[in-house]
Structure 1
Amino acid sequence: MTLNLLLAATAGAFDVDTATRAYLDTVSGPVRARSDAYFEGGYWMLMWGTLISVLINGLVLHLGWSSRWSRAASRRTKRPWLRTILYALPYILVTGLMVMPWVIYGDYFREHQYGMSTQTLGGFLGDQGKSLLVSLIIGPLVAAAIYGVIRRAPRTWWLWGTGVVVSFMTFGALLAPVFIAPMFNSYTPMAEGPVRQQILAMARANKVPADNVYVVDASRQTNRISANVSGLGPTVRISLNDNLLNRTSPEEVKAVMGHELGHYVLNHVIKMLLAFTVVVLAVFLFLWWATPRLLLRYGGRWGVRDVADPASMPALVLLTALAMLVATPFTNSIIRHNENEADAFGLDAAREPDGFAHVAMRLSEYRKLEPSALEEMIFFDHPSGYNRAHRAMEWKARHLAELPPAKRAMAKPELLTVAN
């Protein structure tokens, strides 16, 4: 038999659906039940989180705290922008403390319940304190800019407000990897070795302007595996967390990094900013329409009669929470589309379909493997494990003849240990 005939016979023996099912079957029994329970519980967490935001902001309005903070700020300064900043400081601090019990339950106790958090309560509260500090610095600036356009353009502030928010989002994408992320984790250069060389070789091959790879000490907080190519222009940084290095094979690391490089090469940061500009615009249009009507009906009892008064901030946040809940299927679909593109790019760049399928199974620790189409459309901001494994096996079937002989055979996913 000639080589071509041999390869054709091998390709014919490879069945995509069988190979995909072999991977999916590695996550079964209690492990699958725990994965499904965790992710499906997230549906309720999303709705309860929105309800809690509405209740907290409604309470701040109902108790008159918002109007009192606004009056106190007015007594201290006649400058509108400074008044907004002085209002925003107690608002962010108080509402941040009010929501903290929910945050502790959802992000600490629930994560420990499902075996995904490694952090002590003290460490968790320390990180939450840092987050609150960042919010107290950035939040008042965002609020001052938004209320500035509300005062100056009462009929078109929905348009200018969108520009303000998107501008801050852009600055965040540019600066967060360098100035904010290191507040929560240590970033150290990856040690020399074959894996680092492979990652940088893929980066050079795809014209990603990075000459180093950083390892994040995420294991002090979580068991989750993760990586990213973050930043814009001069702040571009290739990072992977230590869990990815410690819990996966070199083939899996390479597959993940191929995916992350895809986000950069395909300009997903820019595309996401453009797509979310449309979402932000829709939310601001809703706020522009709904907030005056809400204040007309309840503003008298709240002591808030004008959208331009910083005391209206809880009303804006309350309505935004409701709008973003309704927008969940759209925002998730935007992200999931980009993730699908990065998956396809990563398979071509890394050429590790089995490594990619192995990673998809590991991600099932906190992401349901086989959701319905409706579930995936509404609740998934990444492709499901089934779709990722199936895509990887389709890629393998198409490129079987190009792979090294050792990688042409049906993989043995039963060697994978998914459970913590």
Structure 2
Amino acid sequence: MMIDILATAASVGFDPDLATRAYLDSLTGPARARSDAYFEGGYWLLLWGMLVSLASAWTMLRSGWSASWSRWAQRVTRRRWLQPALYALPFVLVSSLIVLPWTIYTDWYREKQYGLMNLGFGGWVGEQVTGLGVTLVVTAIALVIIFAVIRATPRSWWLWASATMALFLAFGALITPVFISPLFNTYEAMPEGRLRDQIIGMAKANGVPAENVYVFDQSKQHDRISANVSGLGPTIRISLNDNLLRRATPAEVKAVMGHELGHYVLGHIWILIGCVSLIFLGGFLLLWWLTPRILARWGERWGVHVPSDPAVMPLFTAVLAVYVVLATPAVNTLVRTEESAADRFGLDAAREPDAFASTAMKLSEYRKIEPGVLEEAIFFDHPSGRTRVRAAMRWKAEHLAELPAAQRAVMRPAPATVASPMR
């Protein structure tokens, strides 16, 4: 994004609110309308996605399919602990097929319509098949664990299942950078150079134990800029996508990487695992209380009689679908709070407030830039562009005298554009 210098600010007189307005006003006309329409449409996708999940669950229960899959697993093996894994195979495959039209619309057609998808339909299907394979394995393992806990502790399984899921989440965070992410993208060491040295320098200065920086080819999927510090212990790695290198200035790359390093330094992965485990706790408690009551009324019709039967899974997914939608404001607030803390850390680490603000404007391609206060609180899992630009300009005002002369200017980006026109 080209930066126009409007005026040179002295150590006093810099107005962060005016500077914020200058950035926000650079997104106008069709670009802003397209961004708002895309993001606001996502509000309805939450509701419709829940209804699609409920319809899928009802179909599997009412038709008797779920009960027949459980009986099939029992015929295949007498090992009760293995039966949920076998049940997972038809459950995942059939439920994925039921919702496939909805998935095609939300994940491919709509993204293509707004110019946010680079994959053709065939390429997208290929990635979906890979993702389906991962889902089959993960679901099979998870169901073995959860139903073993249900059988062993029928009165308190909600508590022990939540603790088990916390361990499962931590294990997932450990292996994802090494075994899952490379299934979808190619990771290569970032070429040596000044920018790579600056990123590693920031990492070392903040105690991030990473000796290399990886670049992954996400441009084959879309043009969104992205980076992360992922993994746990020996699998920790710093990664950024090729879009960030292609579309951002060196200062903007530093601003983004400062934010991502903040997630690691502030321990957000552990906080997130803990909080998600508490969310699981609420969901499992709801299932523990509600499932026997629902089965007492409709279980005979469905061929499902006890919560320890894997055939209950469609009912579990239906209850959790409603629970997740109702919990969305709380979950979004949790994530948004962590993102805001990482923003502050990144500003201190990279000391590139205008680069941070211009990057926030780039993200307006798919995030509404100026939502209402309540709208942001409910639907945004990251701070809005307005919130981020304002934070950057206030940081700049507080540290103006410390910045190099070249950074003391009042900046305004050129009019923002999206990656490609809506089709």
Tell me the TM-score normalised to structure 1 length: 0.96
How much has 1:415 moved relative to structure 2?
6.6
**Residues 1:142 and 2:142 aligned together:** yes
Deviations along 1:68-119, one digit per CA (max 9) or x if unpaired, are: 1111111222221111111111101111122222111111110111111111
AA aligned to 1:225 is I
SS in 1 for 2:215: strand
**Residues 1:232 and 2:222 aligned together:** no
Report the equivalent of 2:221.
221
SS in 2 for 1:411: strand
Q: Distance between the aligned counterparts of 1:380 and 1:253, measured in 2?
A: 23
Q: Distance between the aligned counterparts of 2:300 and 2:182, measured in 1?
A: 45
Find runs of 4+ consecutive structure 1 residues off by over 4 angstroms: 415-419
How much has 1:46 moved relative to structure 2?
1.2
Q: Distance between the aligned counterparts of 1:10 and 1:183, measured in 2?
A: 51
How much has 1:414 moved relative to structure 2?
2.4
AA aligned to 1:149 is V
Structure-2 change in CA distance of 1:377 and 1:415 (3 Å): closer
How much has 1:196 moved relative to structure 2?
0.7
For structure 1, list consecutive stretches of 5 or more residues without a partner in the other structure.
1-8
Report the equivalent of 2:242.
242
How many residues in Structure 1 have an aligned counterpart in Structure 2? Answer: 413
2:27–2:415 CA contact under 8 A, matched in 1: no
Report the equivalent of 2:124.
124
Show the 5 A alignment for 1:209-358: 209-358=209-358
Report the equivalent of 2:377.
377
Tell me the TM-score normalised to structure 2 length: 0.96
SS in 2 for 1:327: helix
Q: Distance between the aligned counterparts of 1:360 and 1:288, measured in 2?
A: 43
1:358–1:416 CA contact under 8 A, matched in 2: no
AA aligned to 2:215 is V
Q: Distance between the aligned counterparts of 1:178 and 1:368, measured in 2?
A: 33
Identity of aligned residues (%): 57
1:368–1:385 CA contact under 8 A, matched in 2: yes
Q: Distance between the aligned counterparts of 2:299 and 2:416, measured in 1?
A: 59
How much has 1:65 moved relative to structure 2?
0.1
Report the equivalent of 1:87.
87
1:376–1:384 CA contact under 8 A, matched in 2: yes
How much has 1:419 moved relative to structure 2?
5.2
SS in 2 for 1:410: strand
Q: Distance between the aligned counterparts of 2:150 and 2:189, measured in 1?
A: 45
Q: Distance between the aligned counterparts of 1:222 and 1:260, measured in 2?
A: 20
How much has 1:416 moved relative to structure 2?
5.7
Structure number with higher relative contact order (C-alpha < 8 Å, ≥ 6 residues apart) = 2
Report the equivalent of 1:75.
75
AA aligned to 1:242 is D
Q: Distance between the aligned counterparts of 2:79 and 2:147, measured in 1?
A: 12
1:118–1:219 CA contact under 8 A, matched in 2: yes
1:361–1:418 CA contact under 8 A, matched in 2: no
Deviations along 1:269-302, one digit per CA (max 9) or x if unpaired, are: 0011111121111111111111111111111110
How much has 1:417 moved relative to structure 2?
4.9
Q: Distance between the aligned counterparts of 1:207 and 1:100, measured in 2?
A: 44
SS in 1 for 2:12: helix
RMSD between superposed Cα atoms in Å: 1.3
- Which stretch shows the higher mean deviation, 241-250 or 72-81? 72-81
How much has 1:12 moved relative to structure 2?
2.5
Report the equivalent of 2:159.
159
SS in 2 for 1:160: helix
Report the equivalent of 1:29.
29
Q: Distance between the aligned counterparts of 1:241 and 1:252, measured in 2?
A: 13
For structure 2, list consecutive stretches of 5 or more residues without a partner in the other structure.
1-8
AA aligned to 1:382 is H
Structure-2 change in CA distance of 1:416 and 1:32 (3 Å): closer
Report the equivalent of 1:185.
185
SS in 1 for 2:155: coil
Report the equivalent of 2:101.
101
More helix by share: 1
Q: Distance between the aligned counterparts of 1:326 and 1:114, measured in 2?
A: 28
Deviations along 1:97-156, one digit per CA (max 9) or x if unpaired, are: 222221111111101111111111111101100011011112111001101111111100
2:17–2:390 CA contact under 8 A, matched in 1: yes
